[in-house]
Structure 1
């Protein structure tokens, strides 16, 4: 156990890549221009809801920093994008299974009779909504989506639809965002009615939910990127979470473990991506009225990946600024091009510059980080014959730990079911990564300040989340007025 934890701790910075903050919100120059396809967090863990042993939960969050009051249009996803969750189950750095989400937004063109004329209303709703998903007659904007499971290459593999276990339909409804208590007096019940039991091809039943959630990433964001304008070894204070007033959009899928693994192998790798058409032409006369409306732009050409996220914080604080867009466009099989950022990480040096009394580790190249970052940890979540590549890795054979017994420090807290063995919502990846990158388990000669209790000051654990699927909490309401 101690040997495994030691190897892991040095690795976490790489897998989380270092910690100091904001899992993947606005992490690269290009993605700041297209927030609807900006992946913010990716979770992959053995389901710990009571009675759901034998399942893995996959959650891909998109569209960061949502203010709950962000009307009148709120936060729809992109109709021209492919949102995908990929699984590699044979350790060759290429996807074997892809779950592909496609969205459709219908503008219903609700009109009111004004002086004898039918005039379109300017709002997303004209009355109360819910609590059942069928109670949408007052919605002016309705989002729906499909999910395909693709075996093999994400573009040319065998494609089959994920369908409702209740009626076999392949189209699902996305709940409207939490506009406020007058429009949605019981948002939790309304959102819960959009949790679907689904049939996954050749896998049996799972569960599916797509919709707005309360932001689950906890971090002292502003101070961190203001040259770490906080005490890096100060107390952990639950009030320091900059993102506590934000929402996010989650794509959540619970899948039988046997569906994701191959043969006797128990370790899977996972990551999420979003892709857009290469070409985009603006429509000089857009008109979104009805299903036959004219979009604001049309796209053409091959799909091009513009967002990528596996382990948290990698593109945020490990990849150098000139290569951030390149990383978002790349695939795990090509990760050798970023090796220098791993062998000679800059974050410890930056911390030493900002806090002269704190000495960075002196081991170069960081071959220990290379091994963990690209392969998983031997004895924990490293597959046999692994091809070096960056992704979140989960050993599905390690049993889930109930929320009351989870350590927010994951493996560093002797909880082998936590980060970096997959990632649960309550894993404090920031503190884990900070302590690891500064050498918490290295020899003192190699990491003179490695034993300091590094933290961003923000606290998180499993109690911040629900104990059942989809785990992330009900989103904040845009209006709290009764």
Structure 2
């Protein structure tokens, strides 16, 4: 099943945060799959930070007839902490709205509502096309201070001033949308952000799932085949990417750095959440009143900062609890970081190949990676330990990205933020097994006997998988053929 310790192929968990907690498996529209934050590397945009929050895991190509939609009864948020106190200072809030145009056809003299989300009359090629029977629009607010009690102002379209934006319909197929890339590009908006002296950019819509992972064999007791003798340099590309044919829905913002930092601290922390109303009544006779009625306080059900935390760090009994929690209260989960179980499980499974878990307790190297940031890389001058993705906005953009980020000498990569091309499965595995100890970060090399092993899930990822400009993520896939 495996070869020498130098060539172990070993994945840790599901596809980043795809279905990472029991309760969220029942609520895919508010399940955040991945969160990215990086200094924009598009030419001429290095004074901006790009934030990407992906939702709705495992979207199938051409999932007719209703396709995927954001929840109009949910609140989607991206939070920024710019002073290290584990509390949000800025929050971008997204609300969605479904519009049923109720297009009709005349059938034997009677006007009858059509059953499809498109009316079949013309190619869909622009926002709000008349060919759409069902549309999604959204609005965005920026909240300064506490997400619920702070000052709230609307984000507006820089071209015309509207506060309502169109979300493109999913990639139905080539007959309905002959050039999906061009159609989606018309939904990239220049935006005026309150209190910001330069416009940003925004896109919300379906994209090719940017994550890669060998998912199926992971949960069969990590049943991955690796070289039987010497380390195979192709091991990192030897496995199947189960998400190769999946899409997600992305919420993307590009914001001037000066609008996110507080002026004195270049490091910002960020995370995304989704909340739903506390109460729901199912309508026994759905009609114009809708299938359900939601009310009560907003209740957070999804949370994502650093990738893979809920999957491979938080214990099963606390996964839903973590999703409902705030970074300021993360002391309650500290034991999962300082005394992690994953390295011990890896040793149980692969001890015969010479694998040993790190021996330094508490695992201060993991506290550095997940809770404070790395000294001299992305740690704020003052920091309250808490789980979030942290980015040093003063770190220059890398001319050539290294998919392994900081542990391979690329200071602009994960865990200093996260770019789409950062192979965080391989990075996270190596860090969990003690790679930071080999770099004398939070521990010493002797604390991690397997710290130099290049653990990999065999599903390769680097920056060439993505576009070099906003919105960076690739056009979503469709199984429709052009006839």
What TM-score range do you get, normalising by the shorter chain?
over 0.9
Asked if 1:399 is matched to 2:388, the reply is: no
Cα distance, 1:468–1:408 mapped onto 2, change above 3 Å = same
How big is the shift at 1:371?
Answer: 3.4
| Alignment-derived partner of residue 349 in structure 1 | 344
How big is the shift at 1:476?
Answer: 0.3
| Alignment-derived partner of residue 4 in structure 2 | none
Asked if 1:181 is matched to 2:174, the reply is: yes
Which deviates more, 366-375 or 69-78?
Answer: 366-375
What secondary structure, in the 3-state scheme, does the structure 2 residue paired with 1:298 have?
A: strand
Q: Any idea what the Cα deviations from partners look like across 1:137-156, whole Å, max 9, x if unmatched?
A: 11111000000000001111
Structure with greater contact order relative to length (CA < 8 Å, sep ≥ 6) = 1
Matched ranges for 1:396-435 at <5 A: 396-402=393-399, 405-435=400-430
Q: Are 2:407 and 2:436, in contact at CA under 8 Å, matched by a contact in 1?
A: no
Q: How does the TM-score come out when normalised to structure 2?
A: 0.92
| Alignment-derived partner of residue 471 in structure 2 | 470
What secondary structure, in the 3-state scheme, does the structure 2 residue paired with 1:408 have?
A: coil
Q: Any idea what the Cα deviations from partners look like across 1:164-207, whole Å, max 9, x if unmatched?
A: 11100000000000000000010000000000011111112000
| Alignment-derived partner of residue 129 in structure 1 | 123
Asked if 1:216 is matched to 2:203, the reply is: no
Asked if 1:337 is matched to 2:313, the reply is: no
| Alignment-derived partner of residue 7 in structure 1 | none
Asked if 1:460 is matched to 2:454, the reply is: no
Q: Which residue, out of 378, 383, 395, partners 1:381?
A: 378
Whole-Å separation in 2 of the counterparts to 1:230 and 1:277: 42
CA root-mean-square deviation = 1.4
Asked if 1:276 is matched to 2:273, the reply is: no
Q: Are 2:214 and 2:239, in contact at CA under 8 Å, matched by a contact in 1?
A: no
| Alignment-derived partner of residue 309 in structure 2 | 314
How big is the shift at 1:119?
Answer: 1.7
Q: Are 2:136 and 2:166, in contact at CA under 8 Å, matched by a contact in 1?
A: yes
Asked if 1:301 is matched to 2:296, the reply is: yes
Asked if 1:249 is matched to 2:249, the reply is: yes
What secondary structure, in the 3-state scheme, does the structure 2 residue paired with 1:31 have?
A: helix
Q: Are 2:213 and 2:241, in contact at CA under 8 Å, matched by a contact in 1?
A: yes
What secondary structure, in the 3-state scheme, does the structure 1 residue paired with 2:244 have?
A: helix
Whole-Å separation in 2 of the counterparts to 1:87 and 1:441: 26
User: How many residue pairs are counted as aligned between the two chains?
Assistant: 457
Q: Are 1:20 and 1:433, in contact at CA under 8 Å, matched by a contact in 2?
A: no
What secondary structure, in the 3-state scheme, does the structure 2 residue paired with 1:323 have?
A: helix
Cα distance, 1:180–1:238 mapped onto 2, change above 3 Å = farther
Matched ranges for 1:2-401 at <5 A: 19-127=12-120, 128-134=122-128, 136-203=129-196, 204-231=198-225, 235-237=235-237, 240-287=240-287, 293-357=288-352, 358-401=355-398
Which deviates more, 226-235 or 346-355?
Answer: 226-235
How big is the shift at 1:339?
Answer: 0.6
Whole-Å separation in 2 of the counterparts to 1:166 and 1:297: 36
Give 5+ residue unaligned stretches, structure 2.
1-10, 438-443
How big is the shift at 1:21?
Answer: 4.3
Q: Are 2:239 and 2:457, in contact at CA under 8 Å, matched by a contact in 1?
A: no
